[in-house]
Amino acid sequence: MTGSDEWATRWQGLAAATISDCLDRLHAMDAGIHRISGHGVLGPAFTIETCAGDSATIHRALEVAPAGSVLVIDAGGHLGRAVWGNVLTVAAQHRGVRGVVLDGVVRDVDDLRAAEFPVFARGACPAGPHKGFAGRWGATVQCGGVVVATGDVVVGDADGVVVVPGSRIDGLPEAVRARVAEEERWISLIREGSTTATLLGLTGAPDQGQPTARVGD
């Protein structure tokens, strides 16, 4: 088994939501970044920052993006012009890129879905991009309200996208699997008659579920 295979095996099948739970419920992108095409995505981030509505930097960055990486693109959340479409998808697949997470919008959605290429973005827009403005790649960016650095682990599924910072990678997959086992135990106990409030230690709250007093009561 190669090093990349071992890396993938450690993370494979772990849900974005549970990963965020084990990151103190942080590092999850906002709900605007959702799945447009493909299924899940998993891989190390390769970050790109481009001007709103411009795709020139993306084309340039794709020439050096490592095979097996996930492109995380900060396009400023701009909704007026798509900066990703079918041509870039074909190029990314040829490069060996695993998927794209974009703080912006895409187009050619039917083609993206036919290609089964994982794309997560804010939506779709038929207007195409401009080209020629400066951007950068490999630097720390933001995407969906989350700070992302090249090399961070990106996990996307039906719930959205979570990013594991490089400083939190060691031991995180094992912590997530332990969390999954604990939740499976909770579900078994619920089916046997336990309540969620008891399992989560939420019983005996001061108000005991009584209505909150209103001013003047």
Q: How many domains does the chain have?
A: 1
Assigned token pair, 155: 């996990």
> pTM here?
0.90
CATH of the domain at 88: 3.50.30.40
Q: How many CB atoms lie within 10 A of CB 163?
A: 29
Q: Is residue 24 part of a domain?
A: yes
Q: Is residue 92 part of a domain?
A: yes
pLDDT on residue 211: 54
pLDDT on residue 68: 95
pLDDT on residue 7: 72
pLDDT along the chain (217 residues), means of 10: 65 95 97 97 97 96 97 98 98 98 98 98 97 93 98 97 96 96 93 90 67 50
**Beta-sheet pairing, 146-148 with 153-157:** unpaired
Domain around 94: 3-172
**Beta-sheet pairing, 123-124 with 136-137:** unpaired
